[in-house]
Amino acid sequence: MSEDGTIRELDGQTVERIAAGEVVERPASVVKELVENSLDADASRVAVAVESGGKDGIRVSDDGIGMTEAEVRKAVQEHTTSKISDIEDLEAGVTTLGFRGEALHAIGAVSRLTVETRPRGGDRGTRLRVEGGEVTTVEPTGCPEGTTIEIEDLFFNVPARRKYLKQDGTEFAHVNDLVTSYALANPEVAVSLEHDGRETFATTGQGDLQSAVLSVYGRDVAKGMVAVDPGERGDGDDETDDLPEGPLDGVAGLVSHPETNRASREYVTTYVNGRYVRSATVRDAVVSAYGNQLAPDRYPFVVLDLSLPADTVDVNVHPRKMEVRFADAEGVAEQVRAAVEDALLREGLIRSSAPRG
Ligand code: ADP
Ligand code: MG
């Protein structure tokens, strides 16, 4: 404790743990990074299992491209990524979920982390263990193709952080929220979630959003969902609702019947170019499309993916990458509102409001 006001240089280990804390806030942030890595690795199956809300254990297993021994040794170092090589790649727009090359390193700095991985077509696997930032084991192992990463004792060496974790149920709710959003964004990937040995949900990976919604939210919610797909219906057909001019190239997904709503925003799941984001702009635009069919502070079930040119949206706003900044937020909001409103009108679920300009 420096109470005399002396300015000191922090030691490397302290700096590292502080930096790791920026990426890893709670179990759900670990899950997010690992699931994104699995999706970036072309997995068709991602299985997530957590113990005690993730506080005692997190395991993410995939059938993706895997890593060689040399690759996995590199992957746990600081600022190592196979996804971009320089700032120009970043400026050109990233298509992978990860790109900072800091997640595995950061997670390893504040936990005990084990990676078991085998490249596709590779004849052997590697098991690598990191404890509090130190690589303690690298050995050959028999394992299936793909990658399994297991985290034990998150924040064992950052007791202050550990103390601030919430009850298991609360931490698990964040994990569930996260895994759900990735399952819905990737209906072609079989995503499963398990808590303390019990399955929470499992999608089939069959590829259609409707069945992913069914697996995740159940039949009552899934049956009343309405498709939002401007421009995709009949060419020249009178029923075609074209997306008004604006920054978005497309808005696609499902929104619920107005009566299927909750007092929580967490069922409004939005993506930008397939990337899960939280955006008050988009959420408010969706809600406004329902008009007075939705009571104040009630939210519909929504799964919407917005597509727009990568250079008109900044996903690099925050280290946890959940926020986005649109070059033209008002234009985005207007198009989203119009697309959702058209879908609801088409199904007769709202009445026509004042005509749009
Ligand atoms: P980033 O995702 O930003 O590249 P990470 O620290 O999350 O950084 O991962 C570092 C690297 O490790 C990745 O670029 C990738 O090459 C490799 N990697 C991580 N997870 C997996 C996985 N599940 N399957 C294959 N490779 C992986
Ligand atoms: Mg990553």
- pLDDT digit string, tens, across residues 136-192: 999 999 999 999 999 999 999 988 888 889 999 999 999 999 999 999 989 999 999
Cβ neighbour number for residue 93 with a 10 Å cutoff: 14
Whether complex ipTM tops 0.95: yes
**What is the pLDDT, as a whole number, of residue 357?**
42
**What is the pLDDT, as a whole number, of residue 233?**
47
Closest to 43 in 3D by CA, of 189, 198, 252, 193: 189
* pTM assigned to the model: 0.83
CB of 103 within 8 A of CB of 23? yes
Q: How far is the CA of 30 from the centre of ligand 2 (A)?
A: 10
- Burial environment of residue 193 by CB neighbours within 10 A (0 to 12, 13 to 18, 19 or more): buried
Q: Which strand (E) or helix (H) includes residue 166?
A: none
CB of 230 within 8 A of CB of 242? yes
CB 116 less than 6 A from any atom of ligand 1 = no
CB 100 less than 6 A from any atom of ligand 1 = yes
CB 33 less than 6 A from any atom of ligand 1 = yes
Q: How far is the CA of 258 from the centre of ligand 2 (A)?
A: 37
Atom of ligand 1 nearest to the CA of 100: 3
**What is the pLDDT, as a whole number, of residue 92?**
66
Q: Which residues of the chain are modeled with pLDDT < 50?
A: 233-240, 357
Q: From atom 14 of ligand 1, which residue's Cα is the shortest distance away?
A: 81
Q: How far is the CA of 61 from the centre of ligand 2 (A)?
A: 14
Q: How far is the CA of 68 from the centre of ligand 2 (A)?
A: 17
Residue type, 127: R
Q: Which strand (E) or helix (H) includes residue 283?
A: helix 280-290
In Å, what is the CA distance from 238 to each residue of 246, 341, 346, 355?
Answer: 21, 16, 12, 17
